[in-house]
Amino acid sequence: MVPDSQLAAFYIPAFPPARPAPVMQIRTPGGELVDLAAGGRADVAGPRGWDAQLRTMGYARSSRWTSVDDLELGGGPVHMCQAVRAAQTGPSGRPADHLGNGLLPSCTSFTLLTDEQAAKLGRSKFGLHAGDVVECEYIAHHRLPHTGLGQADPRDVDAGVDESQLRWWWLMWHGQEAVLTPGLLCGVEGPVPGNGQVIDPCALPWGHEAKSPHSWQLEAFAPGGASRHSFRPRRRGDIAPRRPGQD
């Protein structure tokens, strides 16, 4: 049996008449088709809809969605990510589907990391690549700009900077304008809605409070949420944290 960590999910856009609806495929590293479904929940736009579709198929995302340029299947870019079976227990031993109801809707805006931004962030040292999907982490209908990414600076990590002073990088965008900006992490802890048991540090930028609830109140980190946070251990989604130098 193929290890779950090696499964990949592909979101393939519609291309009528040959492909009237988008398709979600789960494949092995050798390309063998494991699972297949209509791709993307129509009521949830973009990558959050792709995530929702994966969950209905019994899988969860364990890496960022990245655009795949060379498949040329028509209808727009194909996106892929690493996927695991959702019933799998995570590194902490808790089941990955521990979150319940009560979460607030997240903003559905997303953008793609440019080559220039990926280079500025150190590319693979952050586990980042041009074409990576960056989702907004704020609540739906928040004030602009959209804000996502949240990556600890590996230079600070390497230098052993205290966690409270660790510099994080955020991508802020509005229309076609996007800017990388450093900031501190909010880090306020609280119980995740649903079961009220999990105490999790907020993964949003310091000072966000006037604009958005803490990250643990939002659907953004529903089971299978990507491991975007490279230094501070993230328990939400129960995916192993990505650390600088780990691709």
For Zn ion, the binding residues (CB under 5 A) are 107, 109, 136, 138, 146, 186, 188, 202, 204, 214
Cβ distance to Zn ion smaller for residue 161 or 188: 188
- Smallest gap from Cβ 31 to Zn ion, in A, equals 35
Residue 136 vs 198, nearer CB to Zn ion:
136
Least Å distance, CB 186 to Zn ion, is: 3
The residues that bridge with 247 in the sheet, in sequence order, are: none
Nearest CB to Zn ion, comparing residues 74 and 182: 182
Cα–Cα distance between 150 and 236 in angstroms, integer? 14
- 69 vs 189, beta carbon nearer Zn ion: 189
Distance from C-alpha of 205 to C-alpha of 54, rounded to nearest angstrom: 28
Q: Is the CB of residue 194 less than 8 Å from the CB of residue 102?
A: yes
Nearest distance from residue 147's CB to Zn ion, in Å? 7
**Phi and psi based region of residue 48 (left: phi greater than 0; alpha: psi -120 to 50; beta: remaining):** alpha
Straight-line distance from the first to the last Cα atom of the chain, in angstroms, rounded to the nearest whole number: 24
Residue 82: both structure tokens together: 């690493």
* Cβ at position 236, least distance to Zn ion in Å: 13
